[in-house]
Structure 1
Amino acid sequence: MSMAVASVLFGCNGLNSEKKDNRELSSTSATEWTETQLLDTVQYQTFNYFWDGAEPNSGLARERIHMDSIYPTHDRNIITIGGSGFGLMAILVGVERDFITREQALERLEKAVNFLSEADRFHGAWP
């Protein structure tokens, strides 16, 4: 297993420890996982990063996520356009992989589009 994959796997582990469902990880070590198990886990945890970590007013990806909810520079509600693009694609993966329903995805996508349609722009781009 490459160091990059291991870093992603272990870096994302526990981001959503409160949520329990049938996709909960087994107690086997990462070296015992099949390639499919590893990819399923990375996809699910990446999806959860963008889904559960989204800024609540816009549904878009935050610039920073502090898992302890302590934001020392008051940047809790700052979103990132580039990261939001990844988050929107993660929603599509979430539907395809049955992590969420189409209705949930549509609701989140409409929220993001409605927010962006009303957001301030500078020469057509969001500042």
Structure 2
Amino acid sequence: MTATSPEENKALVLEAFDTLFNKRDYAAAERYWSDRYIQHSAHIPPGRDGLFNLVRGLPDTLRYEHHVLLAEGDYVIVHGRFSGHGRPAAWVAADIVRFEDGKLAEHWDVLQDEATKADSLSGLPMFGDRFPT
């Protein structure tokens, strides 16, 4: 079993998300996701193939960007935004991943539509320091 540090895991999750969601390089993405990948998200079919096939079905305009990244032990939480998926609002996500043998082995997420300034009761953006345009 290969152990990776929290700092290595943070770098790996960013590389993995960029490779899959932004570059759409499925062969390269296999290096990051375990072939025994466990998916807990209700909106994503099981396993690595379930995730990859979901992404294949999304528009090529899909983009992922991250904002806050936290890691402890084998777990990483990344606060990010998925845009260009064909829906009226971008999704702001908290993705939680567990690493095993240097690969993404398990995933949970919390997603919500990104609020506009007019919809934000707090008056603050949900992602970064400005509201979506």
Fold agreement, TM-score > 0.5: no
* Larger RCO (CA within 8 A; separation ≥ 6): 2
TM-score (norm 2): 0.27
> Which structure would you say has the larger Rg?
1
TM-score (norm 1): 0.28
